[in-house]
């Protein structure tokens, strides 16, 4: 953050709202020439500040109406155990987010499912088959209050 100036922050704020904006529109909104804006964008992308551009899909519109928060405990926290689990969990298409945690559980996952029957399939075919898993605790979201895709700048 220390290397970002007010122009960089302005670019990022605009892109968080609309990443499909043209370079010319972006340049006009932040008060730069299109070439200067393009250079700034290139630097932000190469430095990793901008990590990519994505379409935000509606899980509900795609018939994934259930979100499960899944706590997972492993048999140990050896480097090989963690690496094997992490490699395997990345293959499950229904896992939206996976965090290595401190505290009672080793991992927390956010899993999308079409319904309870679909979650049962995911649990049986994917989650229970993950290496080194000794405990799975699932909770189901009743209602989404906020799912913020970006941090405040």
Please give the Cα distance from 28 to 14 (Å, whole number): 11
CA atoms within 13 A on the CB side of 63: 2
Compute CA 144 distance to the chain's CA centroid, rounded to the nearest angstrom.
16
What mean pLDDT is reported for the chain?
A: 95
Mean pLDDT of 107-119: 98
Type and span of the H or E element at 42: helix 34-46
Please give the Cα distance from 124 to 13 (Å, whole number): 42
Beta carbons of 82 and 98 less than 8 angstroms apart: no
Tally of CB atoms within 10 A around 60:
12
Per-residue pLDDT at 151? 80
Beta carbons of 8 and 47 less than 8 angstroms apart: no
Q: Which of 130, 125, 128, 124 is nearest to 86 (CA)?
A: 130
Tell me the per-residue pLDDT of 55-64, one tens digit each, with 9 for 90 and over. 888 888 999 9
Is domain 66-140 in CATH 2.60.40.3880, yes or no? Answer: no
Question: Assign residue 99 a region: left if phi > 0, alpha if psi is -120 to 50, beta otherwise?
Answer: beta
Per-residue pLDDT at 2? 58
Whether 1 has a pLDDT exceeding 70, the answer reads no
Is domain 6-46 in CATH 1.10.10.10, yes or no? Answer: yes
Mean pLDDT of 22-31: 96
Confidence band for 143, pLDDT divided at 50, 70 and 90: very high
Range(s) of the chain covered by CATH 3.30.70.920? 66-140
Entry pTM: 0.82
Q: Which of 99, 90, 114 is nearest to 69 (CA)?
A: 99
């Amino acid at each position: 953050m220390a290397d970002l100036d007010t122009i960089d922050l302005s670019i990022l704020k605009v892109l968080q709202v609309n990443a499909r904006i043209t370079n010319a529109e972006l340049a006009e909104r932040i008060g730069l020439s299109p070439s200067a804006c393009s250079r700034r964008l290139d630097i932000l992308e190469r430095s990793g500040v901008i990590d990519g551009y994505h379409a935000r899909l509606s899980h509900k519109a795609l018939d994934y109406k259930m979100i499960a928060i899944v706590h997972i405990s492993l048999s140990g926290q050896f480097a090989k155990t963690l690496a094997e689990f992490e490699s395997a969990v990345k293959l499950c298409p229904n896992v939206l987010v996976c965090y290595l945690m401190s505290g009672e559980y080793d991992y927390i996952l956010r899993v999308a499912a079409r319904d309870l029957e679909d979650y049962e399939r995911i649990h049986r075919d994917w989650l229970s088959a993950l290496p080194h898993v000794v405990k799975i605790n699932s909770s189901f979201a009743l209602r989404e209050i906020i799912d913020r895709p970006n941090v405040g700048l």
